[in-house]
Amino acid sequence: MTDDNTSTQQDEFGSMVLSEEGVTDLTDRLTEYMTEIELGGMPDILGQVLDDFIDQAGGMPEDLRDEVAFEQITANQLAVTLAYQLGRLEGRSPQLVRQLIKQAIEKWEARPMTESPDISEGDLRRPKELVYPRLRHMEYADADDDDESV
């Protein structure tokens, strides 16, 4: 996503969150527009860069001999590949992505994200709505504030 598109979407959608069902529905709708969702559909070097992102973020298993290591690696590779494809889709068709988000907000009645940093046992039952967005906000919102003050 470009900085202009990101800031416009942040201004437009703010700290709104969808329900678990809304997130899944929006994800499915966006995925329908991604035509080349294959690990083999990109240059190997770009795949290596995406793998390095996973590794730098701590998402690669330390013990590659562990019986679930390869499953963990391929699941993470799929996640970053889908994120890459979403970025490509948003870059090519920002209006489409914005429209799908608007439709999801209306259909699923998005609401403001809970501001509390405290995550309760009840929140853990709906992580897509009540945990993941808050963790991302806590981790990266301060970095954005720091960047703006420079």
Give how far Cα 75 sits from Cα of 58, 99, 106, 110, Å: 14, 29, 31, 28
149/125 Cα distance (integer angstroms): 37
- pLDDT reading at 1 higher than 50: no
Residue 130's closest CA among 141, 145, 119, 139? 119
At how many degrees (to 10) do helices 3-13 and 94-108 cross?
20
Residue 147: what pLDDT? 55
Average pLDDT (7-11) is 68
Q: What is the pLDDT of residue 137?
A: 87
Distance of CA 145 to the CA centre of its chain: 20
Q: What is the pTM of this model?
A: 0.77
pLDDT number for residue 148: 55
The backbone torsions φ and ψ at residue 112, rounded to the nearest 5 degrees and listed phi first, read -60, 145
pLDDT digits (tens, 9 = 90+) for 38-63: 555 678 898 899 999 999 999 999 99
Confidence of residue 122 (pLDDT cuts 50, 70, 90): very high
pLDDT at residue 109, rounded to an integer = 92
Q: Which has the minimum average pLDDT: 78-82, 98-102, 141-145?
A: 141-145
Q: Parse the chain into domains and list their residue ranges.
A: 3-114
Tokens of 16: 């709104």
For 15, the token pair is 């700290």
